[in-house]
Each structure stands twice: as structure tokens, then as C-alpha cells.
Structure 1
Amino acid sequence: MTLPPLLVVTDRHGAARPLTETVRAAVAGGARFVWLRDRDLDRDARRDLARDLIGLLQPVGGRLVVGGDTDLAAEIGAQGVHLSSSAGIDGIRAARMALGAAALIGFSAHSVAEIAAAGAAGADYATLSPIFPTASKPGYGPALGLASLRAAAAHGVPVFALGGIDGGNARACREAGAAGVAVMGGVMRGSDPRAATGRFVAALT
């Protein structure tokens, strides 16, 4: 399965604009793969937001994965679900059973061993974090670096580098074997998310 090399991760609290507007701008800049995080929303609000984002992505052939909620992903017709590491390997298998073979199942890994296990369990892709130092991932230990990313990519499952990704290191992640990069702050927090997205897409392709 070929996935777009840029995975945009939502963060409405950190976004410089309303989230739907930010994602619209990112899509205009070339984003075709979005992970709806924002787990603190109540279910109805998150459902409405997810439907809005699907509406932005569908016309350009983009994909939305819903963070941590397989039932919601199925209900709204999202392209898949992205599971946290706490879901474990059993969570990957359960999501596959619930969503079917065509769904995208993503997994948040924080070690090379977790990447290997996620791939063996049938995940379609995984994020590995933190690759570089970042304030948004304080609880996951020191930065793993490009060597760990290179080792993770050797396990076959597409790996997206997450944590501290910017325009200066995105290409290095690809050169280390990553399928792409996952970016939150670099798109969400800027005053021009369309231009920021375009720079990432250019660096990655």
C-alpha cells in the first residue's frame, strides 16, 4: 500500500486558526493524509468534526484516520483508525476485524520492537516517536534519532517519523527509510498552513 508521505496530525488547541480552516488550507497545500487526534472532544462534536474533514479530503482523494475510536471510524466512513500504543497488538487485530481488510490501521510506536510487533499484527503503517526532541512528546523518553528510524523501517511496515519534524529534517527521515513524516505543530501552529504544508510536500517528494 502506497501512502502519502505527509501525515498531518490535528491539534485544535495549538492551531493558529479554527481546525477545519487549518485543515482546508493544508489540503490546498497538498495534504492528502490526516489523522484526527483531538481526543478530548465529546463524541458528537468529534463526529461532526470528522465528517467535516472527510468532506475536505474526499474531493482530492485524501484519507482520514480517526485516532483511537474504531466505532466512530466505522460510523462516519473514515478510511481507518490510528491506535495509541496502549491499545496493544490485540487492538490492531480487533480494529481489523471491525473495519475490514480495506481499512487503514495505524499504530503509535515508541520503539523498534513495537514497530516489529505492529507489522506482524497487521498494521498498515505506524508512527515512531519521538525521532527528534520535542515538547509535545515529553513522556516518551529521549529522542530516538535517525538510527532507530532506519532500524524500524527495515521491518517492512511503513513507518512515519513523528516528533520534532521540521523542514530541515523531513528529507533526512525519508533518506533513513521512513515512508514519510507525521507533523502536528509544523502545520497546525503556523500562520500559513497552506504554505507550510507545501514546503513539507516538496521536501518529501
Structure 2
Amino acid sequence: MRRKPTGVVVLTDRRVARGALVDVVAAAVGGGVRWVVLREKDLPRAERLALAADLRAVLAEAGGTLVVAGPDPLDGDAVHLSAAGPYPPPAVGLVGRSCHDTAELARLTTEHYVTLSPVHETRTKPGYGPALRAAGLAALVDASPVPVLALGGIETPDQVTACVEAGATGVAVLGAIMRAPDPTETATTLGRAFEEAATRVARTHPARSDEGPHEKGCGRP
């Protein structure tokens, strides 16, 4: 079965990182992060390609995976696309897409997972919303044919727990790690909250464990 993002997934933003981006990601990987989404779309392709290579090297040591935001996988095999397109997705090994409502979820074709946002207000995109909160996230999780990562303003263990209880199979964070004085400690703390919540959910709602009901549809093999 194809691996899909789970746990704490880090989105990059070198402009707010409290250190060199590769160092911040390496510290987060030291705290248990195994999935990273490379953004930095404003960089020239050559610089972005070199950055992707550096991040893959960091993740490879821990058995992690780099996902590239946008349709160009930068010599990899995993991309994360915006809600706007392209449709259909490129034919790569792993495809994620940003979604925000049921209409966007209904457009999915061969994607393997989605992010749902914003769960909370976020400093990265002030004014972006309205925020889904736990109830709105849960409703969209139920409507999603693929596993869901919760995204947007998730910075505390309690927020991670609420997202898992709403049915998310992972939480995507940016500011919580990029701005952290100690990315390793923050990743460890959020990761522990995810694991504890996921264990409780698996015990009390077995159908939600693993990928359960969210593997239906979308022409999956």
C-alpha cells in the first residue's frame, strides 16, 4: 500500500524560519517529523531543486519523505497541488491537494490525500478563512474520499488532539515549527500529542484507524 502523510507534517517557509531552512527541518526531523512539504515557490527552479535535494538528504536518514508544493516534483515523486489545479494531477507516486469545502473535495480524481484548511486563524495567512474549527473539520473529513491532513493555525497539543478526534490522519504545521525556538522540542511535543490521540481514537473508533472509510472512491488501485 502506498504510504501517505501522517503524524506531524511540516510545511516550509524560509522567510519566517528562525534559522537556515535546512537546519530547522533537520531539527524537526530530530523530533520525529517524517513528512515535509517544500513550498518556497518564489525561488528560481535551480535554487528550489538544490533545496529539495538537501531536504531529501535530511529526510532520507530518518526514512522520511519530501513532498513538493506545485506540479513540478523537482526530481522526486510526490507533489502537493492547490485547489485551483492542475486537473488532472500529474502522474507521480503521491499526489496531495489543498481543499477547503465540499465542492473542492468533489473535484478530486486520483489524489491520494488532501489538506483541509484553515482549521484555525493563522499568522501565515491573516484574514484567511473562515476557520473550520473542530466541527467544520469533522464534517469535511466525513465528506472526503481520501485521508485528511488538518492545516491552519495548529500550534498546541490540544489543537492536535482535537484534529485527530475530528478524523484527521495528520496535522500540517508551518509556523509552529518554523518559528519555534527549539523545533526539535516542538516537533516532539506535537508528535506525542498526535500519537496519544491517534491511539485513543483507534481504540474507541476502530473504523477511523489506519485509513478506514477515507479510502473510498477516486479510482484508487
What is the TM-score normalised by the length of structure 2? 0.81
Matches within 5 A, 1:53-68: 53-68=55-70
Greater Cα offset, 157-166 or 147-156: 147-156
| Structure 1 gap segments, 5+ residues each | none
Change (3 A) 1:116 1:151: farther
Q: How many residues align structurally?
A: 191
Q: How far does residue 133 in structure 1 lie from its aligned partner after superposition?
A: 1.3
Q: How far does residue 107 in structure 1 lie from its aligned partner after superposition?
A: 0.4
Q: How far does residue 139 in structure 1 lie from its aligned partner after superposition?
A: 5.8
Percent of pairs with identical residues: 43
1:94 to 89, 92, 99: 89
Matches within 5 A, 1:1-205: 1-70=3-72, 73=73, 75-76=74-75, 78-88=76-86, 90=87, 93-96=88-91, 99=92, 103-118=93-108, 121-138=109-126, 140-154=128-142, 155-167=144-156, 168-205=158-195
| Structure 2 gap segments, 5+ residues each | 196-221
What's 2:213 paired with? none
Letter of the structure 1 residue corresponding to residue 95 of structure 2: I
Measured on the aligned residues, the alpha-carbon RMSD in Å equals: 1.5
Question: For 2:154 and 2:65, how far apart are their aligned partners in 1?
Answer: 21
What is the TM-score normalised by the length of structure 1? 0.88
Moved beyond 3 Å, runs of 4+: none
8 Å contact 1:8–1:33 — kept in the other structure? yes
8 Å contact 2:4–2:113 — kept in the other structure? no
Change (3 A) 1:189 1:152: same
Question: For 1:21 and 1:79, how far apart are their aligned partners in 2?
Answer: 23
